[in-house]
Structure formats: C-alpha cells, structure tokens
Amino acid sequence: MLKLRSSPALGSNLYKEALNSSGFQVTTYARPHDLLITRGQGSKLFDDLHNKSYVDFTAGIAVTSLGHSNEKVSQILCDQSKKLIHSSNLYYNAECLELSKKIVEKTKSLGGQHDCSKVFLCSTGTEANEAALKFAKKHGSLLGPKKHGIIAFENSFHGRTMGALSVTSNPKYRTPFGDLVPGTTFMNIHDELNVFSDFVKANKDTIAGLIVEPVQGEGGVFPVPTEKLAGLKKICSDNDVVVIHDEIQCGMGRTGKLWAHAYLPKEAHPDIFTSAKALGNGFPIAATMVNEKINNALKVGDHGTTYGGNPLGGAIGSYVMDTIGDEAFLQKVITKGQKFEERLQEIRARYPQHITDLRGRGLMIGLEFAEAPKDLISKCKDLGLLVITAGKSTVRFVPPLTISDSEIEEGLDIFEKAVNEVYT
Ligand SMILES: Cc1ncc(COP(=O)(O)O)c(C=O)c1O
C-alpha cells in the first residue's frame, strides 16, 4: 500500500489567502472559493484545509476512470520515472510500442474500429483532435487541391486551440478570438440524413472530413443515434470524406464499451478516432487512431510532438488499457450505469416540472433541468458531492468507472437531498 502524504497546503495562510482572492492564476475558470482539493482516493476527494470530503461524480471531467491515487498507476509512475521519462519521438521506446499495439489489438477485439491500423500518441485531447483534422486534410489534399474543409456539428466540443476551436460550435468559446481555421461547416446532428447527403454531394470537392462526438459531452450529454452515425459514415464514404469520431470524453469504457463507436456496425466505424482523458487516468496522454487508408496518406514530417509518446505515458496508458479493455470490467460499467439511471429516474419522477430528461450511456449520464442548475451544483458541493454541468441546463454524471455501489448510493443520497432542498 502506498503511503498517503499529507498536503503541504494544510493550515497554510498562503492557500487561505489565495482562496480569498483569485490567487495568482488567470481568470479563465470560475472556481469555488471555499474548496481546496488536497488529495483523492478512489471516488473520494478531500479538502484537508476545510476538513471536508466529497463523493466525486466528476472524475476530473471523465479522466480518473480508475479512481484517484490508483495504487498501480502510482507505482508505474514511480518505477517508470526512475527508468526513463522522456527520450523524444526521434527514437522508438518499448512502452509506447507496447501501448500502440495494445490500443490496436484491443480496439479490434472489443468491437471498435475493425480496420484500426496505427496510433499517433500525443498529450491532450485537443492535440489528438488537431492531429485527426490534419490527417483528414492531408488525405483530402491527395484527392483534390481544395479538399480540406471539415463538417462539424452544432453543440460540439473538440478543444480550445485554434484548430480544435474552429470545429467547436459554442459561440462563447469562439467569438472573442477572431478568425479561426477556415473551411468549417456546422450542421445540425438532428437534421435528416438527406440534408447531409445533399450537402456532401454538392461539396465533395471541398470537404475533407467530418468530426463528431458519438456522445456529445460538453454540449449536454447527447448520445447520437446509431442509425445517424451509420448514415453519416455511408454518405461520407461514398464521397471520399473521412469520418473522425472524437472519443475523448465518451471513449475508454465510459459508455460500457471500450469505444462508443463499438455500438455501431462495422461498416459505420470511423476512419480516425481520438482518445485522451481516461487513457492516462490523470497523466496527460492522448492518441489518434487511424485505419490504413489514412496512414497511407501520411509521410514523415506531416505531424509531430515533443512530449507525446513518452515512455512514462506509454507505461501508464498500457496499464489503463489492460484494465479498462476487459469485457468483465466493461460489463460492470453497464451495471453501475443502470443503477445510476434507476435512481435518477425516481428522482426525476418526483420533480417533473424541474427535471425534464435523462440521457446517456453507461457511466456518462445527463440529467436535464428546466433551468440552469447552478444552485443545485453549489448545494451538492456544500453537502459533500461534486457534480458538473454540461450544455445549458444539464447535470453531468461521469464518476470513476471503479466507483463502488455504496459510493453511488452515498453520492445519490446527497444529490437527492440537494434536489429536495433546492426545488421544494
Ligand atoms: C469531446 C472532447 N474533445 C476534446 C476535448 C479537449 O480535450 P483536452 O482538454 O484534453 O484538450 C474535450 C475536453 O473536455 C472533450 O470532451
């Protein structure tokens, strides 16, 4: 058992002062001023400054799927850091070769991209999407001089860098930043397939790719219907348009399959898909997977990264992939998801005027409220539960996939109490 270290923040005036002001960090986040996370264990987070503990239904925004301070992850981090942390992408390292092989093999054996062929390793979700967009554009450029446009969707979230932002629809994230990468067309995922078909056919010479989250996460937890994803893939394939699935939030077991696209028939699988968040259980590692058609379009020098594909991330990712990429583990995610949903349905039934919908898959669940549930989130925090929102008025439940039944109950008891207090 690894020894827990107490935080140097305990009782420190410096931290108290920082919490009272905005500290020394830029004001891009609205953080609560009465909460300082000092440590975590499994599905619990602790604030030793205020002597409080929290059930964590956020998992660091769908990241720590194997729980906080996972003993094995810490052990690997420790051991590998003494062996080799970084050696650059100029040379092979054993850990990343192993991780890439595991991703490809597990993807195929667990119903994901049937023609998965190669992996590009990097460090963040945004970066994985940047790679995916560039790969799609590179593929397009070999078919025609103007074929570099991208179709993206309203309500999407793909990241904050200029490329990823240019396919992220939310005006709040985009507007202040002026011109983004040109060539994006936003469509509505709820449109009939013939609307897509007409558009893609009419613009096949200028569209290189389409990017979609199989379950829209930040936008409000909206699973895209299987038939829609299958239809989009067919239209795109018929017109030489590359399909990218962004599985940064919904992948790595979150929906009860290794990848959300594993719910699709084989012919509907994407050409490229991306992963990050849970892949490193908190260590920054991300990946872009491609089939042979895409790999054939790439050549040395087309893309790169300094940190990505480092042995430390590779060693951690391998362990996470082994653990989550396991049928029995994934089955438990589905069972736990059902437990969540049953209880949330009961709560919803008691507050029909306030709670309007329940959506999701596995342990990626959204509870829709009639109005933005800001007070509820804050009440949950006061009572010892961390939950986050998505979209305009959705409470998002993305706990560690390893959460125990008793922790689910404990957290949902708090949630129910908070709903009672806010809406009664
Ligand atoms: C679907 C999706 N894509 C991309 C990203 C960006 O990932 P990162 O914050 O690791 O750059 C996120 C992050 O929330 C996401 O949910």
Q: Which helix (H) or strand (E) holds 238?
A: helix 226-238
Separation between Cα atoms, residue 27 and residue 6, nearest integer Å: 28
Separation between Cα atoms, residue 242 and residue 106, nearest integer Å: 23
Q: Which residues line ligand 1 (CB under 6 A)?
A: 61, 124-126, 129, 157-159, 213, 217-218, 246, 248-249, 276
Per-residue confidence (pLDDT) for residue 4, from 0 to 100: 45
Residue 76 pLDDT exceeds 50? yes
CA of 313 relative to ligand 1 center, distance in Å: 18
CA of 356 relative to ligand 1 center, distance in Å: 26
CA of 55 relative to ligand 1 center, distance in Å: 23
Please give the sequence-ordered ranges of beta strands (E in DSSP) within 158-251, or none if there are none: 184-187, 207-212, 215-216, 222-223, 242-246
Separation between Cα atoms, residue 312 and residue 158, nearest integer Å: 25
* Count of C-beta atoms within a 10 Å radius of residue 1: 4
Instruction: Convert the pLDDT of each residue in 169-204 to its tens digit.
Output: 999 999 999 999 999 999 999 999 999 999 999 999
Confidence of residue 3 (pLDDT cuts 50, 70, 90): very low
Please give the sequence-ordered ranges of beta strands (E in DSSP) within 307-363, or none if there are none: 355-361
Per-residue confidence (pLDDT) for residue 27, from 0 to 100: 87
Q: Which of 121, 122, 126 to mutate to test the pocket of ligand 1 (most atoms within 8 A of CB)?
A: 126
Confidence of residue 294 (pLDDT cuts 50, 70, 90): very high
CA of 83 relative to ligand 1 center, distance in Å: 30
CA 335, chain centre distance (Å): 21
Separation between Cα atoms, residue 271 and residue 243, nearest integer Å: 5
Confidence of residue 2 (pLDDT cuts 50, 70, 90): very low
Instruction: Convert the pLDDT of each residue in 250-281 to its tens digit.
Output: 999 999 999 999 999 999 999 999 999 999 99
Q: Which atom of ligand 1 is closest in space to residue 276's alpha carbon?
A: 10
187 vs 142, 175, 195, 210, 387, CA distance in Å?
25, 18, 9, 10, 30
Over the Cα atoms of the chain, what is R_g?
22
Separation between Cα atoms, residue 190 and residue 211, nearest integer Å: 15
Q: Which atom of ligand 1 is closest in space to residue 159's alpha carbon?
A: 6
Separation between Cα atoms, residue 102 and residue 97, nearest integer Å: 9
For ligand 1, atom 10, the nearest C-alpha belongs to 125
Mean pLDDT of the chain: 95
Provide mean pLDDT across the span 5-17. 59
Domains of the chain, CATH where assigned? 92-325 (3.40.640.10), 334-362 (no CATH)
Residue 117 pLDDT exceeds 80? yes
| Residues above pLDDT 70, as percent of the chain | 95
Instruction: Identify the three-state secondary structure at position 369.
Output: strand
CA of 281 relative to ligand 1 center, distance in Å: 14
